[in-house]
Amino acid sequence: MSSVDAVVTGAGGFIGGHLVRTLLGEGKSVRGVDVKPLDEWHQVHEAAESLQGDVSLLDVARQTVDGAGEVYNLAADMGGMGFIENNKAACMLSVLTSTHVLMAARETGVGRYFYSSSACVYAAEHQTSPDVTALREQDAYPAMPEDGYGWEKLFSERMCRHFLEDYGVQTRVARFHNVYGEYGTWDGGREKAPAAICRKVAKAVLTGDHSIEIWGDGQQTRTFMYIDDCTYGIRLITDSDDPEPVNLGSDELVSINQMVDIVEQIAGVTLERKHDLSAPQGVRGRSSDNAEIQRRFGWAPSTPLADGLERTYRWIHDELKATL
């Protein structure tokens, strides 16, 4: 294949599509690849080379990254908590993608390799209370990550470390904390909490059925990072000289009930809440400790949740309205 400045795997996904846009905005030539057909991609950018391909296969991974100055590996079989808790084997099989893209990057002499890890690498024992102590990078060890998805991410982090140590591949790793925004999955079972709540509130507004189902008691807490902060952080971390994994997430902690409050306020409605205590809930509390990213880079994600949710809600409202 021809030489390009950057390759993005998982380019048809939510974060991947936004990252391609960011890289193009910097004037880079970009090749995006995703296992999904192009008509299922969240965004397709005319200025980028967009290809369907399964980079869990080593030969496809080699072809994909050949001639790339940088590789951003975002490809993984994943979704929201409902998907992760019920598809542990499928999540673990993403190790084939993580392994083969990294091997291909080494073989083809890629200059920089970015790996998208996750806050799911942290042990559940640090996340048992809604009044959570923010997770620090060193809390990933001793290791007991979230079953399935978390184990795959932590293993692949270690592989990045050893490819740097043994082969000199310039790997960079960010641990994402709950990314949300426009042009993402908002229904079908793989959506995450912000998109699901925005969809449910929008549906209540559009249909007049002023009720909402909330998974769990709604007291579980999280931090949520707006997509523009995420792509900025990816670029900052990739260009840095620091190979150690770093949290990339907001530290604005809210409960799920509080997030429903915010979206209701945006939509101008008050809904009857029904709590499904049998639904997947994940850990009780999770927050990003941003001391390291601030120390290393003098920056941390800072978009207020209310601002990001307003943009996300307006987009999902219009998408849903078009289907009704």
| H helices present in the chain, as ranges | 14-25, 58-65, 81-86, 88-92, 94-108, 149-167, 193-207, 227-238, 256-267, 291-297, 305-321
The rounded distance, in Å, linking the Cα atoms of 204 and 210 is 5
The rounded distance, in Å, linking the Cα atoms of 294 and 232 is 14
The rounded distance, in Å, linking the Cα atoms of 280 and 203 is 22
Catalytic center residues: 149
Nearest alpha-carbon partner for 289 in 140, 73, 146? 140
Q: Is the peptide bond before 304 cis (omega within 30 degrees of 0)?
A: no
Tokens 């790997």 sit at which residue?
Answer: 171
The Cβ-side half-sphere exposure at 63, using a 13 Å CA radius, reads: 11
